[in-house]
A = this chain, B = another copy of it.
């Protein structure tokens, strides 16, 4: 089972800066998941065509694709637009829930434009760029992720219930 991890960052993609956000996602998912899985990692600059191409490639190989970076208001922040462009349908509840939980920590949480969406049988989730916010946001939405993948025909995820408990409603 593959999980895509896409870092969107001009500096990281040029090698001027060590990508800490992608590894933070991988570390958090290792902590959360009890099933076998492999990360498929990509780093691209804040360019819509390159973000869209990376999302399309990752969705072809992965039932879950998580991005980091490019969700703020800065002129080059276009990850939500790239996500919306490649997804068939959007999942507004993810962005709402992640902003609501971040808002308990910092008032600038409302500046995050992060979203989530479905492309075929894959779920794409935008996360913030900062490693501290990544775990907080994943923790807020992850209990719903395994059931979402069940519903869209994605892979079957299991979690370490003491860390984050996957919720699967009875039919």
Do B169 and A108 have beta carbons less than 8 Å apart?
Answer: yes
Q: Which of A25-33, A58-66, A70-78 contacts B (4 or more CB under 8 A)?
A: A70-78
- Copies of this chain, complex-wide, total 3
A92 in the interface (beta carbon within 8 A): yes
A143 in the interface (beta carbon within 8 A): yes
Q: How many residues of A contact B (CB 8 A)?
A: 42
Interface residue ranges, A against B (CB under 8 Å) = 72-75, 77-78, 80-81, 89-97, 99-100, 103, 106-113, 115, 118, 121, 123, 141, 143-144, 147-148, 151-153, 167, 169
Do A94 and B81 have beta carbons less than 8 Å apart?
Answer: no
Given A73-B148, A144-B108, A113 and B90 contact (CB-CB distance below 8 Å): yes
Do B111 and A74 have beta carbons less than 8 Å apart?
Answer: no
Given A75-B152, A90-B113, A113-B91, A96 and B99 contact (CB-CB distance below 8 Å): yes
Do A108 and B75 have beta carbons less than 8 Å apart?
Answer: no
Do B73 and A111 have beta carbons less than 8 Å apart?
Answer: no
Do A106 and B151 have beta carbons less than 8 Å apart?
Answer: no
Do A111 and B144 have beta carbons less than 8 Å apart?
Answer: yes
